[in-house]
Amino acid sequence: MSTAQEAGTAVAKGDWSAETGRARTWFESLRDRICAEFEAIEREAGSDASFTYTPWNREHAGEPVENGGGGVQGLMKGKVFEKVGVNVSTVGGTFSADFAKTMNGADPENPAFTATGISLVAHMANPHVPAVHMNTRFLTTRKAWFGGGGDLNPPIPYAEDTADFHASYKAACDKHDPAYYPKFKAWADDYFYIPHRKVHRGVGGIFYDHLECADDAAFEANFAFTRDVGEAFLNIYPALVRRRMGMDFTREDKLQQLTWRGRYAEFNLVYDRGTLFGLKTGGNIDAILMSLPPEANWE
């Protein structure tokens, strides 16, 4: 049986295990390439910092969930990357009745789900180097869909960096649908906003969700797009780091970074849907909260 036939059979039966496995393999391979590139940057800066990898299993009320899955938290603290986490998880189980009401396609009578994805947040030592967030994921309930994106979060913005970051994502989007970039850019602008501060979290990027896989062709198309989103990140972000990591900075620059980090923490703790999903589904607390900066300031 061909790959396309296997995908079509899975769609007809509502069994997404093969597709989930393919997505997981891709997310793990992307993680490995990203981590290798970040470690190479540390070497260029004269640092021997490397990622440590900590596996975890899904729990509920402090007890392991049978066949609940888990993930691996990758964490590095170095000379360039003050704190960077690159996590991959693959979990499954059932949503609580209340949480199921908020999830796309969840069946109140049978709120089963699977989810696999990669999540990355980097907080940088030099305030001239932009922090960044990226994630892509594949979820199934009664429906199956891809989501994700990436956004740049510079304490000290540079127009050149912003333009290059957006250009990389635009190119990835334009390969698949010319309507994607303006739609997903606007979605990121709306989503990565801190209402109580009336400011955006950073300079944006793209955000997408519920790219549904009604059949095998839709799965293949949306999976291809999601892979290109990951490639776009790998193509542009290390270049931005190398562009800025050797710049001198002042105490005032560092204070600006710490104040900005406070706003980043506020968004992730109050508004971020990924944080809520992880907490509601028994994810690893350290992996969920790895997005928080190592230091922040409120005045």
Q: What is the CATH number of the domain that holds 232?
A: 3.40.1500.10
Per-residue pLDDT at 69: 84
Q: Is residue 298 part of a domain?
A: no
**Residue pLDDT, tens place only, 170-227:** 999 999 999 999 999 999 999 999 999 999 999 999 999 999 999 999 999 999 999 9
Q: Is residue 61 part of a domain?
A: yes
**How high is the mean pLDDT of the chain?**
89
Residue 118 has pLDDT above 70, yes or no: yes
Per-residue pLDDT at 145: 93
Per-residue pLDDT at 178: 97
Closest by CA position to 72, among listed 55, 50, 85: 55
Residue 292 has pLDDT above 90, yes or no: yes
Per-residue pLDDT at 111: 75
Residue 105 has pLDDT above 70, yes or no: no
Residue 8 has pLDDT above 50, yes or no: no
Residue 121 has pLDDT above 50, yes or no: yes
Residue 122 has pLDDT above 90, yes or no: yes
Q: Is residue 46 part of a domain?
A: yes
Q: Is residue 296 part of a domain?
A: no
Q: Is residue 260 part of a domain?
A: yes
The vertex-60 CA angle with 59 and 61, nearest 5°, equals: 120
**C-alpha 137: how far from its chain's center?**
8
Active-site residue set = 133
Residue 65 has pLDDT above 70, yes or no: no
Higher pLDDT: 8 or 260? It is 260
pLDDT band at 295; cut points 50, 70, 90 = very high
Q: Are 290 and 255 in contact (CB under 8 A)?
A: no
Contacts of 224 (CB under 8 A, 6+ apart): 176
The average pLDDT across 22-46 equals: 98
Q: Is residue 23 part of a domain?
A: yes
Per-residue pLDDT at 13: 41
Per-residue pLDDT at 276: 78
Q: Is residue 131 part of a domain?
A: yes
Q: How many angstroms separate the CA atoms of 193 and 201, rounded?
A: 6
Q: Is residue 297 part of a domain?
A: no
The average pLDDT across 37-47 equals: 98
pLDDT band at 7; cut points 50, 70, 90 = very low
pLDDT band at 101; cut points 50, 70, 90 = low
The average pLDDT across 3-11 equals: 39
Q: What is the CA radius of gyration of the chain?
A: 19
Per-residue pLDDT at 130: 98
The average pLDDT across 37-48 equals: 98
How many structural domains are present in the chain?
1
The average pLDDT across 256-269 equals: 95
**Residue pLDDT, tens place only, 197-212:** 999 999 999 999 999 9
Per-residue pLDDT at 191: 95
| Greatest mean pLDDT among 52-66, 80-94, 198-212 | 198-212
Q: How many angstroms separate the CA atoms of 291 and 18, rounded?
A: 30
Q: How many angstroms separate the CA atoms of 46 and 280, rounded?
A: 41
Per-residue pLDDT at 194: 95
Q: Tell me which residue range forms the domain holding 174.
A: 3-291
